[in-house]
Each structure stands twice: as C-alpha cells, then as structure tokens.
Amino acid sequence: MNPSRWLLLLLLALDLRSVGAADLTVNLRLRVEAFKGSGEWRAVSLQQSLPVEKTAVLICDMWDKHWCRGATVRVNGLVAHMEPFLESARKLGVQIIHAPSETMAFYQDAPQRKRILALAKIDPPPPLSLFDPPLPIDDKRGGCDTPDQFYKAWTREHPGLRIDASDVISDDGAEIYSFLRERDIRTLLVMGVHANMCILNRTFAIKRMTALSIHCILVRDLTDAMYNPEDPPHVSHDAGTQLVIEYIEKYWCPTTTSADLLRAFAQ
C-alpha cells in the first residue's frame, strides 16, 4: 500500500475512534450543607465529563396506565418530552434501558428482553452503607391527588416511548447491574416516575445502584412525584415534586436537565 494512503487511513481511523469515544460535558446540580447542622442547604453547580460509551439512560416505570388518574395524565405529558430526548441520545450512541416494572410478561418474546436475559450474571460487590433520611413529603397514603383506589392498571411501558433494536428491557436490578458491568457502563441517567418511590427504591434504581458504586444522575425535568397536596407539608403537587428533587440532590445523587443534556449531545 502507498505509504501516504496508509497514513490517511490511519488518521481517519483515529478520527473516527475519537468521535466514538467523545465525552459529554454535562452541568450537574447538587445541594450541600456548608455548615453542618445549620439546616441551610445551598444549590451547587459543577461540570462532569461523561464518556458516551460508559453512559446509559434508565427509564423507570413509565407505564401505559397508572392506577392514579392524575399520575397517568402527568406521565402522558412526560412522554411527549421524553421520546424526542431518547431519540437524540440513541443517535449519539447512548444505551437505553427500559425498566417498566411488573410488565416483563408483555416483553417475554422481545429480542431486547432476551438479550439481557442471555447475559451471564455478574455478582455485585457488598453494597455501601449509606445514610437514608426520611422524605420531605408524606406519601404514606399513596400520594394520589385524584380520588382513585389502587389497582394494577399497567401492562406495558407507555407506547409513546419507542423501543429500538439497540435497547434492552428489564425490571430486575441484578440483570441490569450485570448488563452495566458487561458493557462497562458507569453512569445512569435516570428518568421516569415516581421520584419519591420507584426512582429511589426499585432494585435497579438510585438507592441500590448508588450503593453498588454506579453513578446516578436524575434528569429532573423528566420525572414526577406521587404526592397529594392534602398531605404534609401541604404544598402544591409541583412544589412537592421539587422538594423530592432537592432531597435527592442532598442525599443521593446530582441532577441535570434534558435541555442541558441535549446541548451536550450537540457539541
């Protein structure tokens, strides 16, 4: 081969490799108590570099229907913003993980489900022992702000969210942890519902993955809370959601926005 042609091919290969391995520079927000015991928490911003190939989006419990009509309406609204975001992330090469709990029977024949089931199990390390303070809202009655009674309303993920051939489907923390390790994915961009319940407490979600040393980032404009303003602290639903987001920023992980991520995707 002509030496100059070989050099050109090498440079092209290096250029493609650098594009594929590009990092996202993302603005994160968290909260710190500058003076311990003061109860005064301040929002702090920082920038974090996230390698595309080591980052995944996790979609938590975005069901087709919720037992609470108010929650269903808000999920429908989230879908309209979440779907275009997912398409942009996917085009960049970010892995998408669909985690609609208690609906795996619907996806039993889906190749995206079979792909994660076929992986060898990777045992996690002993989980970190982390401080788990109480929530700032009272959700003991279920948090529904419409007059509904609980029943299992969901059968699948919301059909407005497309599941691509490159995506995977699971509602099991051990499966998802094994998938992350197999792909060497170190950061989860978590979105979906509900911030005070499943987003924190599912086996694949923020508390468990943080305890297993997976870095979690909540996409705070693509989430919602199960909160009824009739319950303490008697604030509006949106204010209750913001209180939960602030709680997560204090004790569990930083947050970002879909707009900031899209800006990072475009750079």
CA gap 148, 144 in Å, rounded: 7
Beta carbons of 224 and 193 less than 8 angstroms apart: yes
Identity of the amino acid at 179: F
Beta carbons of 63 and 81 less than 8 angstroms apart: no
Residue 100 pLDDT grade (very low, low, confident, very high; cuts 50, 70, 90): very high
CA gap 177, 39 in Å, rounded: 35
Locate the domains of the chain by residue range.
22-122+156-266
CA gap 175, 24 in Å, rounded: 26
Query: How far, rounded to the nearest angstrom, does the alpha carbon of residue 175 sit from its chain's CA centroid?
Result: 16
Q: What is the mean pLDDT of residues 168-186?
A: 98
- Thinking of the domain 22-122+156-266, which architecture would CATH place it in? 3-Layer(aba) Sandwich (3.40)
pLDDT tens digits for range 28-83: 999 999 999 999 999 999 999 999 999 999 999 999 999 999 999 999 999 999 99
Q: Which helix (H) or strand (E) holds 220?
A: strand 215-224
Reply yes or no on whether the pLDDT at 154 is more than 80. Answer: yes
Sheet holding 95-99, edge to edge: 41-51, 23-33, 255-256, 215-224, 187-193, 55-60, 95-99, 168-169
Beta carbons of 205 and 172 less than 8 angstroms apart: no
Beta-bridged to residue 51, according to DSSP, are 23
Residue 264 pLDDT grade (very low, low, confident, very high; cuts 50, 70, 90): very high
Query: What pLDDT sits at residue 267?
Result: 87
Percent share of the chain, pLDDT over 90: 91
